[in-house]
Amino acid sequence: MRTLYIRHVPDEVAAGLEKLAESARRADNAERLNALPSLPIERASILEALAESCAGR
């Protein structure tokens, strides 16, 4: 994880950023995944897109 230094930030902004960082650190990955929309994508179309992407390199 990286450390980010930002200078001359108002106290209320810094407090808000610290609160957001704390909640993001505690968020459960499973909860995030469950919040994502479910899209009906076939495995074959994913593999085809990957093959096309690799062929373009």
- pTM of the predicted model over 0.75: no
Query: Which amino acid is present at 14?
Result: A
Domain ranges of the chain: 11-55
pLDDT tens per residue across span 1-17: 678 788 888 898 888 88
| Number of Cβ atoms within 10 Å of the Cβ of 17 | 13
User: According to the model, what pLDDT value does residue 36 have?
Assistant: 74
User: According to the model, what pLDDT value does residue 52 have?
Assistant: 87
The alpha carbons of the chain give a radius of gyration, in whole angstroms, of: 19
User: According to the model, what pLDDT value does residue 27 have?
Assistant: 63
pLDDT tens per residue across span 5-53: 888 888 988 888 888 777 776 667 777 767 777 878 888 888 888 898 8
